[in-house]
Structure 1
Amino acid sequence: MRLVLALGNPGAKYRDTRHNIGWWLADRLVRRWCGGPFRAEGPTARAEGSRRPGVEIHKPLTYMNRSGEALTALLAARRFDPAADMLVLVDDVALPPGRLRLRRRGSPGGHNGLASISAKLGSDAYSRLRLGVGRPPDDRIDLAAWVLSRMPRADEEAALSAFPHAVEAVEYWLEHGMEAAMNRFNNR
């Protein structure tokens, strides 16, 4: 089994925020792979696509800061190796909107969702697709408030314009592994 874990926050209040860009991409993947709607299953919402059997897409329903709790439940119920079989979709303020970066491992870099996952796994050895949402234009803007706010239209359009590329990167990871996916997509 392969697992795509899209980080975000549940609820209408957060649906359109920068922090939920991983959920936006998860929705795109489900549509492309002819999947049904996401359905609550324990601490996640789960979907699969008929065009990608053996791949599950999950959205933790535990809020971003507790994403690792949802992963712990998945590990208890399924057989997979997070280092080899899981890809985390996550927002990244270090990348401008429209940019993405694949990584095989790495520190959470201040991202509370990744920190929660790393803490529960006891390791930073899991793949992630970092989706750019940009930095605040002013250092006085609180970073938490920034990621929990909506993007301006131009930034949102730039972020969404990268989704075909991001979908292709996820599919390439599934077929060829992270090293090959990084070599192909991180140089664009």
Structure 2
Amino acid sequence: MYIIAGLGNPDRQYEGTRHNVGFEVIDTIADKYNIDMDTKKHRAFIGKGMIGREKVILAKPQTYMNLSGESIISLVQYYKIDPEQELIVIYDDISLDVGAVRIRAKGSAGGHNGIKNIIAHLGGQVFPRIKLGVGEKPSRYDLADYVLGHFTKAERELVEEGCKSAVHAVEMITAGDMQAAMNEYNRKKKEE
């Protein structure tokens, strides 16, 4: 069984913002696999279903981004999963182009406060994660304002494609193909 957690902030005002792309990927998975996300437990909205032959728990922590670890650790402990193998965290990354996807099996928080909090609660950096690019912050912007801002229409199309790629990556990982997923999504795009 896998716990697939998308990071974001609750409240309507944050819908569609850069910081909430993790929630968007979870919603895309839920739509594709007919998983209801209407149960509130472990300080998250969760839904149970199947992806291929694997049982999954989809989660959208409602703790606000910077406290995401509180919800994640509760889920990990309750369902007795191994976070190094059976947890997938999906979140925004400002170091990637809008819509780009990168997959890591482990690593530091890279300045992301939600991931920093998860690492602190899990007591380690080894857990699979899928990063969805939201574009680099322009130099004149405050970081918080940027990640809590909305996408342009052109960026929105790229994000929707990125969400589909992230769903495909989740499907590969839950099928046991972590390395194949990394090979597919971590390649540098060739110069045209």
Please indicate the TM-score interval, normalised by the length of the shorter structure: over 0.9
The 3-state SS of whatever aligns with 1:54 is: strand
Q: Separation in 2 of the partners of 1:76 and 1:51?
A: 22
- The equivalent of 1:107 in structure 2 is 108
- The equivalent of 1:22 in structure 2 is 22
Deviating 4+ runs (over 3 angstroms): 50-53
- The equivalent of 2:8 in structure 1 is 8
- The equivalent of 2:43 in structure 1 is 43
Q: CA deviation at 1:27?
A: 0.3
Question: Which 10-residue stretch deviates more, 46-55 or 1-10?
Answer: 46-55
- The equivalent of 1:128 in structure 2 is 129
The 3-state SS of whatever aligns with 1:98 is: coil
Work out whether 1:63 is the aligned partner of 2:64: yes
Q: Which amino acid aligns with 1:48?
A: K
Question: Which 10-residue stretch deviates more, 84-93 or 163-172?
Answer: 163-172
- The equivalent of 1:87 in structure 2 is 88
The 3-state SS of whatever aligns with 1:49 is: strand
Q: Separation in 1 of the partners of 2:35 and 2:143?
A: 34
Note the residue ranges of structure 2 that are not aligned, 5 or more in a row: none
Deviation per CA, 1:58-110: give whole Å up to 9, x if none. Answer: 01110000001111211231110001001100000000112010001111111
- The alignment's TM-score, normalised by the length of structure 2, stands at 0.92
The 3-state SS of whatever aligns with 1:140 is: coil
- The alignment's TM-score, normalised by the length of structure 1, stands at 0.94
Note the residue ranges of structure 1 that are not aligned, 5 or more in a row: none
The alpha-carbon distance between structure 1 residues 71 and 51, as it changes in their structure 2 partners (threshold 3 A), is: closer
Deviation per CA, 1:37-64: give whole Å up to 9, x if none. Answer: 3321131110123555511100111000
Percent same amino acid at aligned positions? 37
- The equivalent of 2:73 in structure 1 is 72
Q: CA deviation at 1:163?
A: 2.3
Q: Which amino acid aligns with 2:162?
A: A
Q: CA deviation at 1:153?
A: 1.2
Equivalent residue runs for 1:117-156 within 5 Å: 117-137=118-138, 139-156=139-156
Equivalent residues of 2:2, 2:87 under 8 A apart? yes
Q: Which amino acid aligns with 1:143?
A: L
